[in-house]
């Protein structure tokens, strides 16, 4: 019975991610590209597509949870969730540092984890190298003591245990309702935030006049909602109950409630190969990655967009390898990527997800600024480029810059 239940979950996962991969390739949706558009040309269209997905996912998760169609509160524990977005112990430094690492990495690697999979489907050889490097780094973080010794062992000393203040979750909705609305059952806060984000997206015509933006954001948001429904709804909860009776070598790896995320699958793939194709690693995240690759490949082949792409230079190779490694480390440290935290995590309104998303965007934006100043001014040092970039982002006073602004 449990095998059939799990297979149904995986089939559902494959269908939604296949569609997502198809649509993302068609629309050229890219979270790194969204940041680049804002930083370099002041165009918010793709950024609004991203936030449209966030708004839809917040609204959908809130309503499904209110109707008891999903149990999102299980995301407070690593025993029942992958990852535990809502754990009341907020290790804020992991989200800050992990977000910065991931933001830098996705800029150097020409795309986030999701975009890497889409590009693989389109024939990009560079993205295969990124995926493997990202997977190795994530493998070190998940399956060895590398991440603990280097990061989490000392970061835990700077955590904020919200449970000591009487909170059972780090959800912003819970923090507000528990304090002000006496834990009102209706998700007023979530709905209000979703409406605010939708207003940001639709207040000007640059976003909704583009069918591709609406399609990409809409499909991504709905895919995240359906993924939660598959794993945190009746089907997923039944499997979790049945899985308790499975032997350790039969229970699928990381099988708690979860939605879409695209760093962990790379590590799971490395582990899957390392263990001689052990079937316990054929899990939700790995099938999601497969769906993205095959969906994008299908579009690329059908519409004659399939192109084999190789590195343009040795420096291009090095940038992609470093970027992949930083994404692997940062994605695990921050508990997710631009989709895993930026949409799936944000759908729960976890404080950690908000931090991760903020610093992913910051890490990417400041890296783009540094690259730009280094390209325009040959005598510009990395420190000077960083300072100028911070001035451009209005995070430092403009008077301390050494070089004139560039655009």
Instruction: Return the pLDDT at 183.
Output: 53
Instruction: Return the pLDDT at 70.
Output: 96
pTM, two decimals, is: 0.95
Confidence of residue 242 (pLDDT cuts 50, 70, 90): confident
Instruction: Return the pLDDT at 1.
Output: 41
Q: What is the mean pLDDT of residues 236-263?
A: 86
Instruction: Return mean pLDDT, the chain.
Output: 94
Instruction: Return the pLDDT at 179.
Output: 62
In the structure encoding, which two tokens stand for residue 36, read together? 């680049």
Confidence of residue 245 (pLDDT cuts 50, 70, 90): confident
pLDDT tens string 106-163 = 999 999 999 999 999 999 999 999 999 999 999 999 999 999 999 999 999 989 999 9
Identify the weakest region by mean pLDDT among 3-7, 72-76, 213-217: 3-7
Instruction: Return the pLDDT at 209.
Output: 79
Q: What is the mean pLDDT of residues 259-270?
A: 96
pLDDT tens string 167-188 = 999 999 999 988 665 555 788 8
Portion of the chain with pLDDT greater than 90, in percent: 88
């Amino acid at each position: 019975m449990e095998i059939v239940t799990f297979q149904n979950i995986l089939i559902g996962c494959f269908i939604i991610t296949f569609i997502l991969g198809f649509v993302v390739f068609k629309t050229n949706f890219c979270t790194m590209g969204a940041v680049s558009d804002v930083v370099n040309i002041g165009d918010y269209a793709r950024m609004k597509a991203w936030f449209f997905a966030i708004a839809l996912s917040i609204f959908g998760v809130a309503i499904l949870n209110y109707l008891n169609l999903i149990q999102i509160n299980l995301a407070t524990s690593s025993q029942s969730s992958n990852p535990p977005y809502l754990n009341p112990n907020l290790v804020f430094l992991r989200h800050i540092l992990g977000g910065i690492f991931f933001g830098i990495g996705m800029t150097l690697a020409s795309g986030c984890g999701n975009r890497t999979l889409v590009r693989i489907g389109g024939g990009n050889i560079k993205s295969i190298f990124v995926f493997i490097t990202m997977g190795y780094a994530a493998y070190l973080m998940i399956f060895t003591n590398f991440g603990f010794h280097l990061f989490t062992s000392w970061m835990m000393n700077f955590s904020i245990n919200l449970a000591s203040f009487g909170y059972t979750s780090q959800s912003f909705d819970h923090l507000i309702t528990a304090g002000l609305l006496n834990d009102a059952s209706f998700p007023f806060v979530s709905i209000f935030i979703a409406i605010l984000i939708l207003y940001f997206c639709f207040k000007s015509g640059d976003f909704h006049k583009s069918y591709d933006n609406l399609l990409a954001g809409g499909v991504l948001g709905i895919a995240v909602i359906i993924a939660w429904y598959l794993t945190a709804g009746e089907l997923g909860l039944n499997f979790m109950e049945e899985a308790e009776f499975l032997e350790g070598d039969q229970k699928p790896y990381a099988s708690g409630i979860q939605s879409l995320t695209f760093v962990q699958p790379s590590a799971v793939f490395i582990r899957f190969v390392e263990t001689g194709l052990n079937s316990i690693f054929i899990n939700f995240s790995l099938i999601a990655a497969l769906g993205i690759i095959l969906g994008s490949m299908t579009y690329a082949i059908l519409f004659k967009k399939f192109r084999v792409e190789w590195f343009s230079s040795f420096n291009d190779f090095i940038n992609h390898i470093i970027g992949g490694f930083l994404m692997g480390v940062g994605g695990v440290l921050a508990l997710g990527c631009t989709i895993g935290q930026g949409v799936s995590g944000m759908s729960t309104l976890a404080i950690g997800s908000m931090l991760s998303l903020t610093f992913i965007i910051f890490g990417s934006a400041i890296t783009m600024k540094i690259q730009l100043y280094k390209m325009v001014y040959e005598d510009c040092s990395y420190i000077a480029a960083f300072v100028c970039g911070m001035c451009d982002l209005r995070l430092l006073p403009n008077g301390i810059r050494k070089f004139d602004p560039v655009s």
